[in-house]
Structure 1
Amino acid sequence: MLFYSFFKTLVGKEVAVELKNDVSLTGTLHSVDQYLNVKLTGVKVVDEERFPQLGALKGCFIRGSAVRYIQIPASEVDTELLQDACRKENASGGGR
């Protein structure tokens, strides 16, 4: 639940999502659920020459199991808060 809570704080922010099939998209994070499925709006394909069929994409739903990486702006990450949350979850035996 730690990552779900973290990504909920990023709703409305610009993110880049790299999928397992090598497609990279950028857009505004519209929503995220407990399975880390994400919905993006204002989507742009990073390599449109390689994936021209995705050029007209405006918004999309991405299943969490298809995501390789989600890149977020460094300015949006409160590392101290994230470290504290990790320590608390680890101490309580969470994630097992």
Structure 2
Amino acid sequence: MDFSKTESKKDRAVGNVKDNVGGAVGNESLQAEGKAQNNSGQAQGALATAQGYVAGAVDQAAGAAKGAYNSLTGNSSGEAGNKLQEKKGEAQKNWNS
């Protein structure tokens, strides 16, 4: 399953509105629905961050391994491309930390 930070933010915002409106008008059902939607959005956001971090770690490790192989075999153009993949993975990990 692919988790989305955008969907997470939308669910948290809509959940907060429902919670506040439900509380203001005394609609406990709407308020509970809002709290549940907000909590769901928070969980989805945490999962999206974890998913992004893992993808970055995999990219970083793959780039490092391929780069080391290309270094040993003397493939300097492949080594440069793999260094780029490694740096991309590192940046993705940092973004999702």
TM-score (normalizing by structure 2): 0.22
Structure with greater helix percent: 2
TM-score (normalizing by structure 1): 0.22
Specify the structure having the higher radius of gyration (Cα).
2
Structure with greater strand percent: 1
